[in-house]
Structure 1
Amino acid sequence: MRVLPAVLVAVAVLTAGCGAPQPPAPPPVQPLPGTAQIWTRTEGWQQAPAMPAAAAQRRWSVPVPAGARTAANGTGVVVLAVPQGGGTRVDRLDLATGAPRWSVTVPGTDARVGLDGWARPVVTVEADTTTVLDAADGRVLWQAPRDQGDSVDALPDLLLVRSHTATTAVDRGTGARRWQVRHQIAPRDGALVVEDLAPTAGGPGTDGVADPATGEPRWTQQNPLFTDVTVVGDRFVRTADVEPGPDTVTAYDLATGAQRWTAEVDGIARAEVTPLDPDTLLVSGGGEVGLGAVAVSAVDGRVLWRTDRSPSTVLRLDGAPWAYREGDHAVTVLDGRTGAARQHQNAGSAVLAGGGIYVTDGVDVVANGLLDLAEHWRLPGVGDVYGLDPVPGGLVTVVGTAEPRTLAAYLT
């Protein structure tokens, strides 16, 4: 074997080091936020399930038979609904073990199953009959033909069920009906609002504030044809899609209906309002290009910043406001104070999880931080994810390209 002189070896090493420039090192991974809250229109700010700092582990799995449905939410409620005879068996699964905590059979097959409410969730099963079960123990809170109520909102003390002609309030503790009114009543951040449609096509509708004790309106106003209302603190806020323009956002006193301010926010169409902080509101349009979002002062309606695409979710991470948008295989995170954006391209779909996002690509699930958009850990070989929900301590996912599938929990 021929031995090279030492000087030639040194030259070879130096030459190799002087080749094509190396890509810059990725930025350091930031710690995940300590606290994460998410805004819900019905119940205001709620604690979001935080992404674990370390990789989760597969703790259990159960089969999802053909025709079965699953549902899970950030409170840790996991439900499996399986067709059985002429009905549907609903199982609430224990998050830690996957074993049933309770099972109830309800009328109807080919049923849709969903979860409503954060403070006290309910399970809604919709077939020809709508059945609402208390997620804690499986008690039937409501059961009636679907045309008598197919829209459900769960509050800590009330269950609101709406049909096309009425809203019924059910006491969560006793199951007794508290009241029924011929208005469309919806919860908004601790208050109840009236959202009555126009009595004639193309005419004005009515909105306002309802009394929680009776469901009857405390005050109402006529509104334009295309509007949306929400409650933020002590403000009743209405957005209006005005043709030919400009679109507007108007704040009223929640107790009296007296107008506080109005502002022009043209180019957002029918929009929703979300608080970024006590002094700032985000007015978000439909999400398409051209239907953007505007941040306005909650005090006087002054426009503070704009973006050309609407975020889908507003969060508080360690108390600071952020807005999140996912679409076209890209995630965008907006600083709620300035509107400055950070963007990250994904290979697959993304699911928001408190201070992070879970990205699926058909093989792995990757946990990225929301603020650094960097990989923190991954679950290799999970497979083709059909559905994924963040839960306290990790995630639950339905895996499989076709029925039957598998429901699995990955927890720390």
Structure 2
Amino acid sequence: MNKSAVLASFMALCVSGGNVLAQSKISDDVVRIGVLTDMSGQFSHESGEGSVTAVKMAVQDFGGKVLGKPIEVIVADHQNKPDVAATRAREWFDTRGVDMVTNLINSAVALSVVNVAREKNRIAIVNGSGSSRLTGDGCTPNSIHYAYDTYALATGTAKALIGQKLDSWYFLTADYAFGHSLEADAVQVVKAAGGNVVGSLRYPVDASDHSSFLLQAQASKAKVVAMAGSGKGFVNAMKAASEFGLTQGKQTIAGLLVWDTDIHALGLKEAQGLVLTTAFYWDRDDATRAWSKRFNEKMKRMPHMGDAGDYSSTMHYLKAVQAAGTDEAGAVMTKMREMPINDFFATNGHIRADGRMVHDMYVYKVKKPSESKYAWDYMTLLKTIPADQAFRPLAESKCPLVRK
């Protein structure tokens, strides 16, 4: 064999060895993503099959492989029970080789699971839950809060309404971690802007009869009745508010977390006039419409911010694995923080030290039935909140990872 042939053989061996080395950096030769969500309970319309579909769309669009290894998606229903969610996440990390867990709707569930991810050195990306504690005292080096949080929702909606001289507020709050966080963040904004909180009432998260709560809110004569809840509870409360005439009277209803699916379930006749803050609306621009139409083909409904966040964050995660050359959590988290997010969901989004993905937020008003021109034409944009104003400043963060 001549020198050229020997050199060629040597180079081929080096390339082959390098490829084997690169491939060996993927644990179990598979990148596994676990969608831990509510598949059957009161938050299933805000997560569930929509979340699974969005994640699978991202995997398909990425090509189904990363670093030459297949990407697998597994799914479980956490039943809105933190202990069930933590047990399942631990099982996934210990025995199923799951590298990243996502969606995590229900704030108590999310706060529980992010700690399991930290313990097991895996990654948790939260799109379903909103509690700002996830980037506050509940932050971890292994978790990202991606789509929205209670601070952003409360800040956008409260400032918009107080700017209209709607400065007296009464809170109807779902009695669980998310509702408490949403109320606390909104109260802070209302008071800072010179508004007045005239009262509040906490209702059981699974309550079906809201009549007594709404009568108290109506009797308060507050200019704004703020609904600090989500899921079927919020929809039931809004239907009752319409029956009692709150939506047609002198009081303004503020939905502190309103999903597009909530508006669809209510119908514009009952939802009209609602002011809300969101991270995503399907009909915002050409890019949101293009992706949303693809999602609609699969789900037979338009996506909301949770769905869009699940897709965007999964794509960002896979790009980070590709860039890091491994699925090891620390290396991937470093790349996720380094790389900007530019897609239909966010422009120049970035992940801070506290795990907050910072991006623009939007204040919308729900249209009257006469204003809607086509299916899912539900909202009118009132204001865009720039990324640097939308989320709690790092200087105010209680996250121990943030240097003061």
Q: Specify the TM-score bucket, using the shorter chain as the normaliser.
A: under 0.3
Greater fraction of residues in helix: 2
TM-score for the superposition, normalised by structure 1: 0.27
Instruction: Using CA pairs under 8 Å that are at least 6 residues apart, name the structure with larger relative contact order, 1 or 2.
Output: 2
Greater fraction of residues in strand: 1
TM-score for the superposition, normalised by structure 2: 0.28
